[in-house]
Amino acid sequence: MKIASLAQYLLPHRLLSNLAHRLAYSKTPWIKQNFIYTILANFDVNLAEAANSDPDSYESFNAFFTRALKPGARSPDADPRALILPADGKVSQCGIIENGRIFQAKGQDYSAAELLGDAELAKAYANGVFMNIYLSPRDYHRVHMPWTGTLTETLHVPGRLFSVSPGTVADVPRLFARNERLVCHFDTDFGPMCLVMVGAMLVSGVETVWNGVNIPEYADAPKRLDFRGKNIRLERFAEMARFNYGSTVILLFPEGAVQLDEFEHQAPTVLGRRMGLRLG
C-alpha cells in the first residue's frame, strides 16, 4: 500500500472535513478567493459555461463549486429511451454485479449489501449492472437523474472519508462501502434504481433537491428516511443532488433493465465528462 493511502488511516477524517466545510462556506473575501483561484489555476475549469462567469462574485467557495450552468450548456441525449450520464466526470468502472459483489479496482471488490447498508434491498441488484462516476475538482458538481424515477427512501450511512482518487481506490479495500454516503432508492418503469452519493476526504457535504443538506449532519448510526407516498418524482435529466467537492456517484440497475453502450465487462473508461451523454 502506498504511503499516501496508508497515512489516511491515521488522519482525523471528520475533523478535517468539518474544517473544510467551514472554510468552503466562509464569506471572508481572502479565504473564498484563495480557494477559488487555486482551483482555477490548477484545473481546467470552463467558467464560460457557468450561469455566473465572474469568480469574484460568488459569496463563498462552495457557491462557486456548486455553480449552476447556463441554459443549454448540457442537454440530454435526444433519444427518450437513452439512459444518460448523471454527472460530469469519468466513468471509472462499470460491469456486472457478480455474486452480489461490485468491482472496485484490480484485486479489490465489495458487496452491494455493504454499499447499500441493506442486504434485502441489495437482492434487487443481483447480477445487475453497476457504474462508478468520478467527479474531479474541474467538473460541474450537480448530479442529475439518469432516468425518470420516484424517490422511495434514502439511507445516510456514516463512515470514513478516504480520498476517492484512483490511487487510493486501488489501495484501500472496500473503500466505497466504508466511506460516508447517501443511498438514494427510486422506483422506475423498469424496476428499482439506486444512486449512491459517496463522500470523500474533505468532501462530506451532500445536498438533495428534496431534503436540503443530508451530509453533514454527522451521525454515529445509519439514518433512514421513507419517502413513499410523498410523490417525489424526478424526471430524466432533472437535478437530484450536489456535492460540495469532487467525489463519486455509483449507479445500480437490476439484471436485464439496461443495456450499456460500448462498455466492456468491468472495464474502466474515460467516457465523456459531460452530463446528459448517452450511456445505454
Any catalytic annotation for residue 144? yes
Backbone angles phi, psi at 124, to 5 degrees: -65, -20
Most confident option among 2-6, 162-166, 255-259, 270-274: 255-259
| 54 in active site | no
Cβ count near 280 (within 10 Å): 18
CA dihedral over 160, 8, 45, 28, signed as positive or negative: positive
Q: Where is pLDDT greater, at 205 or 237?
A: 237
Output the average pLDDT for the chain: 87
Instruction: List the one residue out of 111, 241, 129, 103 whose CA is nearest residue 192.
Output: 129
Going by pLDDT thresholds of 50, 70 and 90, the confidence category of residue 245 is: low
Whole-angstrom CA distances from 63 to 28, 110, 129, 186 are: 13, 34, 34, 28
State percent of the chain over pLDDT 70. 90
Radius of gyration of the chain (CA): 18
First-to-last CA distance in the chain?
A: 36
Angle between helices 29-42 and 13-25 (to 10 degrees): 110
**By percentage, how much of the chain surpasses pLDDT 90?**
56
The model carries a pTM of 0.91
The answer to whether the CB of 195 falls within 8 A of the CB of 131 is no
Contact 94, 269 (CB under 8 A): yes
Identify the H or E element spanning 23. Answer: helix 13-25
Of 21, 141, 144, 185, the catalytic one is: 144
pLDDT at 20 over 60: yes
Residue count of the chain, please give it. Answer: 280
- Cβ atoms of 197 and 182 within 8 Å: the answer is yes
DSSP state of 257: T
60-110: pLDDT as tens digits? 998 998 999 999 999 999 999 999 999 998 888 888 999 999 988 777 889
pLDDT of residue 259: 86
pLDDT band, residue 119 (cuts 50/70/90): very high
Q: What angle do CA 128, 124, 80 make, to 5 degrees?
A: 60
pLDDT of 230: 96
126-174 pLDDT, tens digit each: 999 999 998 888 888 999 999 999 999 999 998 888 778 777 888 888 9
Grid cell locating 206: 451532500
CA pair distance 221, 39, nearest whole angstrom: 34
Per the CB < 8 A criterion, the answer to whether 205 and 196 are in contact is: no
Out of 40-54, 154-168, 232-246, 257-271, pick the least confident: 257-271
Catalytic, out of 88, 109, 118, 171? 88
Alpha carbon distance 163, 166 (integer Å): 9
